[in-house]
Chains A and B, each alone.
Chain A
Amino acid sequence: MVDVDASYAEIARRPSQIVMRRLFGSGIPWWSLLIFSLVVVAAIGGDNITPHDPNGLDLGSAFKPPSWLEGGSIDYLLGTDNLGRDIFSRIMAGASVTLTVAIYAIVISGGIGALIGMVSGYFGGVVDTIIMRVVDIQMSIPSLALALVIATVLSPSLTTVIVVISITYWTWYARIIRGEILSLKERDYVALAKVAGCSTATIFVRHLLPNILNTLLVLASLQVGQVIIFEASLSFLGLGIQSPDVSWGLMLADARNYIGNAWWAITLPGVAIMLTCLSANLIGDWLRDTLDPKRRQL
């Protein structure tokens, strides 16, 4: 009985209250939050807090192993690469590029995708058919292949990466949001809003948007890891971030050329990718479970 009461109490609460309650309850991915916060701090701090200049060449100290190994020095915590650049500083600098790409790409693809999905679901009919056809068509091209075609056209840069990823992912949001809207628009309060003379814009912003915010937040948080890997792949291929900007994918591409000389240069940037994605995914899972009990089994 206690459980039933508790769940009723939960329904009666607003999502923000549920988040607050869960935040101080159990099941919180503390480690993930800690790691992700460190990445955010490194990204915000930028060049001001890196121990060395991420692009500072020092050929005299090339291929220094991490500090805990023989021959390493505490000066270069995670060792140096073939040009004597400090790997720890470069990983910190890479965090800023990675998060910048992730934030822009998610906001753009999520914004466009959600709007198109809302329009498609709300208006239905021909508009819906056309939009969903376009989504199908775009999904029939593997995303990396599509990215390659776009990359042939635009010269590689931070902006290009953001454009490519946004174009790749909007369909994902559009499909899911459309599905949500299809059921939301049948609700009485939407019909009543229409009868009461609300404009379509008002219905969208005041009655539909608040109801899909949770879904959007969950989708976005689960997308962070995918975007990070996508950016790293593009940069690794040489179609993404270009030097002197630093990206984890680019570091791996460089390190590939001297894979026999410095194992730390090929493992550590990958560990940064892995830990960031892992913590982002776990935070996403936790948000999903907290905000959207229906999707727990997904």
Chain B
Amino acid sequence: MLSYILRRVMHGVVSIIGASMLIFVISRMSGDPIVLLLPVDAPQSAIDAMRETMGLDRPIWMQYLIFAGKALTGDFGNSYRWQMPALNLVLDRLPATIELALSALLFSIMLAVPLGVLSAVNRGGWIDTVGKGFAMLGQAMPGFWVGLLLILVFSVHLNWLPAFGAGGVSHIILPAIALGWYPVAAQTRIIRSAMLDVLDSDYIRMGRALGAPERLLVWKYAFRNAAVPLVTVLGVYFASMLGGAFVVEVIFAWPGLGRTVVEAVFARDFPVVQAGVLFTSVLFVVSNLLVDLSYGLIDPRIRHG
């Protein structure tokens, strides 16, 4: 088990290092950050001096090592716009994004589990058809449009829920639905096919033969096993929501990391973009890592394989 964990962690570390290189190289391709920092009519000597103090006269791999070394100590440089360390800004906004992503995950599971289980139990029935239709629609509707429709209906017309900002529970409902909307389709499919497999297994048939009530069989015995595939990919969905949060946070003016990074992109605030995207990637890799490790815990065949 220990060697399995170590191997997976190494894999994750390599991915994060690679991601940091990719982000660094792409942002350096934009040309000289000095152009943004100094006035247009700055003398050449000032440009050269600035370049030297920022280390931009060195080869790119050395620049990357300096960047990585500083990043490891938590120094991503100062935000051009906010005049504070980019890392502090990112850490400041991160909890709101995690809160939103977890709420969205909760919403999607609450919808997908009953839909998936009932679709499998009533295979071919009306609820299965509804579930399928829902899945098809879900994958054809962009999350940001769902968000706009929710605002139109529940904020503008019904005036039930606030359209933007953060505050109590009422503020998180609409953005969580908008963000959790997309994965519902896939999760329903996973639950449905897992349930179909389990319901077909010998021990369920045995239970039926023994006269166990159907509800007990479905929810206690079958669902517990069918939930394993979903539980193990929850980390993947959490990770994908971190990506989706960029748009949803902008729509609902949610004070999270996503909106901060999008604003930083418009302000060409490179340190914040780098720190924000790198942090998102770290979260992404860590949640995928946890998924892998949970597979290993649940299924011994994987860790020995």
Contact = CB atoms under 8 A, between A and B. Distances in A.
Interface of A: 133-134, 136-138, 140-146, 148-153, 225, 229, 232-233, 236-239, 249, 252, 255-256, 259-260, 263, 266-267, 270, 273-275, 277-278, 281-282, 297
Given A138-B22, A140-B18, 14 more contacts: A133-B18, A137-B18, A141-B284, A143-B243, A145-B276, A145-B280, A146-B277, A148-B265, A149-B27, A267-B149, A270-B141, A270-B148, A274-B137, A281-B140
Interface in B132-176: 136-137, 139-145, 148-149, 151-152, 156
A274 B152 CA distance: 17
Given A140-B284, A149-B277, A266-B148, A273 B142 contact: yes
B67 to A, nearest CB: 14
Interface stretch (B109-117, B246-254, B293-301): B246-254
A136 B240 contact: no
A297 B239 CA distance: 25
B19 A148 contact: no
A142 B273 contact: no
Nearest to A261: B156
Contacts of B142: 229, 232-233, 236, 249, 270, 273
B279 to A, nearest CB: 10
Contacts of A233: 142-144, 247
Given A152-B265, A153-B30, A142 B247 contact: no
Contacts of B195: none
21 contacts: A137-B18, A140-B281, A140-B288, A144-B247, A145-B242, A148-B277, A149-B23, A149-B273, A149-B277, A151-B265, A152-B30, A152-B265, A152-B268, A153-B26, A232-B144, A237-B262, A252-B145, A267-B152, A270-B142, A270-B149, A273-B142
Contacts, number: 137
A237 B143 CA distance: 13
Given A137-B22, A267-B149, A274-B141, A148 B262 contact: yes
A140 B246 contact: no
B187 to A, nearest CB: 16
A141 B281 contact: yes
Given A141-B277, A278-B136, A236 B144 contact: yes
B12 to A, nearest CB: 8
Nearest to B182: A229
Nearest to B26: A149
Given A152-B30, A270-B149, A278 B137 contact: yes
Contact of A252 (B22, B148, B277): B148
Contacts of A263: 152
A214 to B, nearest CB: 22
Contact of A273 (B14, B145, B261): B145
Interface residues of B, number: 52
A141 B136 contact: no
A143 B145 CA distance: 19
A163 to B, nearest CB: 11
B108 to A, nearest CB: 17
Contacts of B281: 140-142, 145
Nearest to A231: B142
A238 B263 CA distance: 11
Contact of A225 (B19, B21, B139, B145): B139
Interface in B1-38: 11, 14-16, 18-19, 21-23, 26-27, 29-30
A278 B140 contact: yes
B159 to A, nearest CB: 11
